[in-house]
Amino acid sequence: MSMDRRSFLKIAGISSILGFGASVASATHTIWQKGLEPPQVDKNKEALIAKRWAMVVDMSKFKTDEDVKQVITACHQTHNVPDFRNADGSVNKKDEIKWIWQASYERAFPGQDNKYMSEHMKEMPFFVLCNHCDNPPCVRVCPTKATFKLPDGITMQDEHRCIGCRFCMAACPYGSRSFNWRDPRGTNPNGEPFIKNENKEYPMRTKGVVEKCTFCTERLSVGKLPACVEAAPKGGLLFGDMEDPNSEVRKIVTNQYTIRRKSDLGTGPAIYYIVGGSDHA
Amino acid sequence: MLEKALVGSKKYWAWLMFLGALALVGAYYYYQQFMYGLGLTGLHRDVTWGLYIGQFTFLVGVAASAVMLVIPHYLHDFKTFGKIVILGEFLAISAVVMCILFIMVDMGQPMRVVNIFLHPTLTAMVFWDTVVLNGYLFINLLVGWVTLGSDRKGIAPPKWIKPFIYLSIPWAISIHTVTAFLYAGIPGRHFWLSAIMAARFLASAFAGGPALLIILALIVRKISKFDAGKEAIQAVGRIVAYAMFANVFFLGLEFFTAFYSGIPGHAQSFLYLYTGLEGHSELVPLMWTSTVFAAISLTMLWIPAIRRNEGTLVLACIMLFISLWIDKGFGLIIGGFVPNPFEEVHAYWPTMPETMITVGVWAIGFLVLSLLYKIAITVREETAGIEIEH
Amino acid sequence: MKIYDGGKIFLGLLVFVALATFPFTYNMVMGKGTKAPEPKTDTPAIQEWEKVNGKKECVESKDFMRKEHMQLLNNWRESVVRDYNRGYISTTSHKRFNMSLQNGCMTCHSNKKKFCDECHTYMSVKPYCWDCHIQPEEKEEAKS
């Protein structure tokens, strides 16, 4: 049988593509393999369950700077969030990663201040963090579902799957997300590690992935409240199930005036702020 | 036909070596970035997309612009475009290659990019952008190769290529619409949240891409015997004129809505770009250059005597291309991020490694373009005088 | 049959074969990579388990783990992060284990260098788990 070189090359090319493709396809069967399902896996008995986790922030309970700082420290230390502070102690705006921090009233709620408001009111600090929205734009735009909604309302982050495209950061209307612009396992010019006290029970992240508050799913799974809630003075940060009519958070939101950040965008944030109430004014 | 890219004059090889050297420099800096992280760029928590994604956005437009040649020639039998179409298709290929490269250098975890295909997310515009861009690359490679191959043999292309050619038309529109959707649906960024984004993108694509094509066609005519034809270039010039008018008009519409409505969220980004905000005015000179160049080039294109003179036409096209490059490849992206959701201004400026990587990717794009154009030119020179039937 | 340039061809073939098999011959000559890996399971935590349960046992059998621990870990992480499940019922011992690399596997196998790295180095495999997950402190093997 004789064939010309061109036909031979065509047949050889197509066969190798098919053969290669077949071997790749058979290797990927493990990926499409069904994952683990109940009853082989289950939740911990002590896990906290809710239909819709939400948080109420009452800044009037935070009297001192120390009160505020220990909340942020509790979160960042529990989750090995690196501190990229500059050598002189100033914030490194370029690399910084933060899951929860404070912003002034006029920054956290832009457009809701007025020109007659006192500077004191405009500068009043409020905790800001991921709002775990009902209808989160970040989840909508993530091309790999690395950020996704859990059934209990938490907007979760899967660091294993994130490709670092940072679209979620562009999409978030609240600026809640941080990116690892460099390896958090480094040291600053003074020789101090970026992560000072490692929490050995929680992983770090690596360069090139996005991270944010996850409402402490790892603590909820073992029956503990989120780290920030535990570290806050009593009543400062309330955490509960909005769908449970008997929960504290539900009662507050039903009966008191609370505001949410940029609520007109339709995102449905789950962080409610008590303003102008009780001891404060 | 590939072998035609490997035969050339000393100048041709010198040009390829030059581009190769730039590409290697870019690769070196990319290696640095890969090892250190994206912190090597000027990006930060508030401006998460910069030069890379800006270039990507601009080049998707250039890639889509091939359709401005395909529609008249294949759909409406405009025979004048017979020779220039292949230049447009090959430009589209090299532009898409650059787009893909710019995305890859921008990824935080590039090895995991396969996740986009393993876990397809139908609500994610990035997913659709990946699909349509790769599809467009495939279509243009197929159509360009088959039609050029047929021209070389002096025969009409096979009938089965026609559906692909017709498919490339809506597909080209789609790649840039999907890219615009990356921006136009984000609720928190009022600078981008505008229905006219996709229309603006297409208008600037159909102005910028063909403008580059005119420049390239004139260069090709100078360095080889391939002449796309004075009439073809004039026709493309008219397309550029109309598209640029639409683009400038659309930008004006955006300005109107932003400032007449008085809503601060809409206007602040424009203020940052064109007048500076809170002491930050890094982008102001660039944006005004873009505006001035746009005005001058549009005027030049609209005066027939100037447009008909190929010397001044090239000048207008160069200014137009630079203007659109600044506007779409830089200003549009940064403007969306500044001010940030807290209404703070944190400026962005690319670093040296970031710039070198960008230059490297452009070099690779031009390398691909040069190789493809060399093939097209050689085929045309060999078949000069034979009527081309499409 | 006359082979033109036969000398050059066979010389070239010889050079090619030498280059292609160099990785193997080099290792053989240097004595590397000939010893089979021996992961050690003698950490204090495992010995403690042995005392309590009468035998050394892992989440699944040794055979299963050798072949499937990569897939198991992948399934675990999907289960924990995405499905919110943390308990795993072993198919061999039907005991319930906490699905965690740092707080599960590594509490027993805290000797990463003598356990995980033994086989991984031999196979030249570099799993990227440790880019993020924190390696346990190497505990000395208890003298029994």
CATH number of the domain encompassing residue B300: 1.20.1630.10
Q: Which pLDDT does position A30 carry in this prediction?
A: 53
User: Chain B residue closest to A177 (CA)?
Assistant: B45
CA distance C22 to A193: 43
Q: What is the mean pLDDT of residues A204-210?
A: 94
Looking up tokens 């026609």 gives B162
Q: Say yes or no to pLDDT of C44 above 90.
A: no
How does pLDDT run across A180-204, given as a tens digit for each residue? Answer: 999 999 888 888 899 988 999 999 9
Rounded to an integer, what is the distance from CA B3 to the centroid of its chain? 28
| Contact assignment for C85 to A38 by CB distance below 8 Å | yes
Domain that holds residue B376: 2-382
Beta-carbon contacts of residue B306 (< 8 Å; ≥ 6 apart): B300, B312, B313, B316
Which position has the higher pLDDT, B278 or A24?
B278
Q: Which pLDDT does position C139 carry in this prediction?
A: 61
Diameter over CA atoms, chain C: 77
Looking up tokens 């928190």 gives B188
Q: Which pLDDT does position A34 carry in this prediction?
A: 64
Domain that holds residue A169: 67-223
| Any C CB within 8 A of A40 CB | yes
Confidence at A276, pLDDT banded by 50, 70, 90: low
**Both tokens of residue B26?**
């870019």
Confidence at C143, pLDDT banded by 50, 70, 90: very low
Count of structural domains within chain B: 1
Residues pairing with C87 in the sheet: A42, C98
Closest CA to B217 of B85, B306, B308: B85
Confidence at C144, pLDDT banded by 50, 70, 90: very low
| Contact assignment for A203 to C134 by CB distance below 8 Å | yes
Which residues of chain C does A38 touch, with a Cβ-Cβ cutoff of 8 Å? 85
* B38, B56, B182, B189: best to mutate for the A interface, most A CBs within 10 A: B38
Q: What is the DSSP letter of A233?
A: P
| Any C CB within 8 A of A158 CB | yes
CATH of the domain at A156: 3.30.70.20
Interface of C with A (CB under 8 A): 71, 75-79, 81-89, 91, 96, 99, 102-103, 128, 131-134, 136
User: How would you list the strands of the sheet with C96-98, edge to edge?
Assistant: A41-42, C87-89, C96-98
How many Cβ pairs closer than 8 A exist between chain A and C?
71
Rounded to an integer, what is the distance from CA B103 to the centroid of its chain? 14
DSSP string for B47-77: ----HHHHHHHHHHHHHHTTHHHHIIIIIS-
Beta-carbon contacts of residue B263 (< 8 Å; ≥ 6 apart): B190
Burial of A243 (0-12, 13-18, 19+ CB in 10 A): middle
How does pLDDT run across B282-326, given as a tens digit for each residue? Answer: 999 999 999 999 999 999 999 999 999 999 999 999 999 999 999
Q: Say yes or no to pLDDT of A93 above 60.
A: yes
Closest CA to B156 of B386, B327, B331, B1: B386
Chains touching B by CB (3 or more pairs below 8 Å)? A
How many other C-beta atoms lie within 10 A of the C-beta of residue B114?
A: 12
Apex CA A147: angle with CA A98 and CA B344, to 5°? 40
**Both tokens of residue B349?**
């400026």
Q: What is the mean pLDDT of residues C65-82?
A: 91
Cis peptide before B170 (omega within 30 of 0): no
Residue B327 dihedral angles phi and psi, to the nearest 5°: -65, -50
* B112, B114, B182, B332: best to mutate for the A interface, most A CBs within 10 A: B112
Which residues of chain C does A159 touch, with a Cβ-Cβ cutoff of 8 Å? 132
Q: Say yes or no to pLDDT of A280 above 50.
A: no
| Contact assignment for A36 to C75 by CB distance below 8 Å | yes
| Contact assignment for A145 to B119 by CB distance below 8 Å | yes
pTM of the model: 0.90
| Any B CB within 8 A of A161 CB | yes
How many other C-beta atoms lie within 10 A of the C-beta of residue A222?
A: 13
Q: Say yes or no to pLDDT of C40 above 90.
A: no
Lowest mean pLDDT among A224-228, B166-170, C57-61: C57-61
* A29, A41, A78, A183: best to mutate for the C interface, most C CBs within 10 A: A41
With contact defined as beta carbons under 8 Å apart, do B92 and B140 qualify? yes
Q: Which residue ranges in chain B fall short of pLDDT 70?
A: 385-390
How are beta strands A237-241 and A271-274 bridged, if at all? unpaired
Chains touching A by CB (3 or more pairs below 8 Å)? B, C
Which position has the higher pLDDT, B154 or A144?
A144
Which residues of chain C does A44 touch, with a Cβ-Cβ cutoff of 8 Å? 86-87
Which residues of chain A does C89 touch, with a Cβ-Cβ cutoff of 8 Å? 39-42
* A94, A147, A177, A183: best to mutate for the B interface, most B CBs within 10 A: A94
Q: What is the DSSP letter of B41?
A: S
Domain boundaries, chain C: 1-35
How many Cβ pairs closer than 8 A exist between chain A and B?
146
Q: Say yes or no to pLDDT of A277 above 60.
A: no
Its ipTM equals 0.90
Rounded to an integer, what is the distance from CA A78 to the centroid of its chain? 14
With contact defined as beta carbons under 8 Å apart, do B45 and A176 qualify? no
Rounded to an integer, what is the distance from CA B370 to the centroid of its chain? 16
Q: Which pLDDT does position A31 carry in this prediction?
A: 53
Burial of B120 (0-12, 13-18, 19+ CB in 10 A): middle
Closest CA to A205 of A76, A94, A87, A100: A76
| Any A CB within 8 A of B44 CB | yes
Q: What is the CA radius of gyration of chain B?
A: 21
C99: helix, strand or coil: coil
| Contact assignment for A110 to B342 by CB distance below 8 Å | yes
How does pLDDT run across C86-135, given as a tens digit for each residue? Answer: 999 998 888 899 999 988 898 888 888 888 888 898 888 899 999 999 98
Q: What is the mean pLDDT of residues A61-71?
A: 92
